[in-house]
Structure 1
């Protein structure tokens, strides 16, 4: 959970004694809220200031002892500590409801930004689980409108709550990559591996500015194929020489035909041996 403590977001100190009132007994569960006013999303650097604005409205406008919510979740998925786990909230409608459930606000409005972001839903789910594990809170989950006459938390958030507040389905691995994405990925691998390890590969020269990761792979395949041909030729030459030497070692002279026959036999034997070795080491064999 990306928790932002009261000290980190610059909270004012709460008034006493009301702001210090503790919960009595365990909480039944968690209630979700929305702002109920127009809201426009903002860069994350401005979210703490908005949380301070909510606290000021609750303390100076409503006359409450502190910000009303237990936790506040911005659109970037950060969870701001309000009254926290121990001190009773004042957002659920009355003393009984406040004591019964934690209050978690999602920073979305009744107009403007009304759809929570995926990051925000993850943050809200983090807050719910945190309240359950550390609160302690039971598994009951609802909206402000449950048991109190209000439109809060709005139809979109309420539908998510009634569905069990699931985490967003972000199966990015199942998405097909475009050709452009594939090229970027290949370039990234090349940059992180080949360049970092200092492999001697041509890379975007003046004469060939389009030389890329794909070019390197293609070039490596061609080099491997050429080297295999050269190896076979060399093995054949060595085998031919070996065949002739073996015949000469038997004693006596050899005429031209016998030398050629010995060379051909030696070359065939060497190539057959090499072919078997290549087959044994071929990962696709």
Structure 2
């Protein structure tokens, strides 16, 4: 299922009070809950979800003094994903000094009322994760807000799901290996170093390698680190160890199992 995205314009977001910090990649995503009461009525009325997201933005801007809503994306019970700050933008919800390492995804559950995440919310969180991987260079980690920060967030039920590995309700693909039925076509040129090669094809390959667990910057520049990662990957998969991403290495990047 493709992401059911509710854009900022569609949910009536206020304009931010400044420019976001930029992100080209992260270790992954941290999952959040509201920390307050969420009415169970939102399960039956999507308009209440829209109103809640607006109220969260108002609180962050007027109560916390932030420039905008702090979350990257917000997931609701109707398996819809609200655009918050969005991919490529620094969130403000993970804690001081922690926002550059992970995007922030809020599930509309609280510590009272609706405390048990519905399948729709869990699927929407994972849809948001897939979207942030594809559009924002998010890595494979899915953690709770409390991982590395002193807080109860994302609550007992949601955190238990995170600790289980954030499985899709009813089975299906795991978040560690997002389902990609149609890998991007080989770009037509071999990615190699030296010299440093730059382009969207480099960025696409780097982002996918990060999502597989390799440590490298997704900066669109194929330099020494990209070459070294390519060599290690080729050795792991039994490919010729050249350090250059040819068609066989490109295809293996998407089709070979993560080991």
TM-score, normalised on structure 1? Answer: 0.57
C-alpha displacement of 1:97: 0.9
Partners of 2:135 and 2:55 lie apart in 1 by 27
- In 1: Cα distance, 2:110 partner to 2:59 partner: 16
8 Å contact 2:69–2:85 — kept in the other structure? yes
Give the match for residue 21 of structure 2.
21
Alignment of 1:158-197 (within 5 A): 158-169=159-170
Q: Which runs of 5+ in 2 are unaligned?
A: 173-259
What's the CA shift for 1:164? Answer: 1.4
Q: Report the equivalent of 1:136.
A: 137
Q: CA deviation at 1:45?
A: 2.0
Is 1:68 the equivalent of 2:70? yes
1:59 paired with 2:81, answer no
Output one character per residue of 1:241-269: Cα deviation in whole Å (capped at 9) or x when no partner. Answer: xxxxxxxxxxxxxxxxxxxxxxxxxxxxx
Alignment pair present for 1:2 and 2:4: yes
> Match of 2:100, SS?
helix
State the number of aligned residues: 167
Alignment-derived partner of residue 84 in structure 1: 86
Q: Whose relative contact order is higher, 1 or 2, with alpha carbons under 8 Å and at least 6 apart?
A: 2
What's the secondary structure of 1:21's corresponding residue? coil
Once residues 120 and 144 of structure 1 are traced to their aligned partners in structure 2, the CA distance between those partners, rounded to angstroms, is: 17
- The 8 Å contact of residues 76 and 117 in structure 1, kept in 2 or not, is answered as no
- Aligned equivalents of 1:51, 1:133: Cα separation in 2: 24
- Provide TM-score, normalisation by structure 2: 0.62
Structure showing the higher helix proportion among its residues: 1
Within 5 A, what are the aligned runs for 1:146-225?
Answer: 146-169=147-170
SS in 2 for 1:159: helix
The aligned residue for residue 244 of structure 1 is none
Q: Which residue of 1 aligns with 2:105?
A: 104
Taking the aligned partners of 1:141 and 1:80, their CA distance within structure 2 comes to 19
Match of 2:38 in 1: 39
CA contact (8 A) 1:145 1:151 kept: yes
- How far did residue 87 of structure 1 move? 1.4
Q: Residues 170 and 86 from structure 1, CA distance in 2 versus in 1: closer, same or farther, beyond 3 angstroms?
A: closer
Shift of 1:80: 0.2
C-alpha contact 2:88 2:135 (8 A) present in aligned 1: no
Q: Counterparts of 2:110 and 2:67 in 1: how far apart (Å)?
A: 24
RMSD: 1.4
Q: Which of 10, 13, 21 is the equivalent residue of 1:11?
A: 13
How far apart, CA to CA, are the structure 2 residues paired with 1:146 and 1:6? 28
Contact 1:29 1:137 in 2 (8 A): yes
Unaligned runs of 5+ in 1: 172-285
Where has structure 1 moved over 2 Å in runs of 4 or more? none
Instruction: Please state whether the residue corresponding to 1:128 is helix, strand or coil.
Output: helix
The residue that corresponds to 1:245 in the other structure is: none
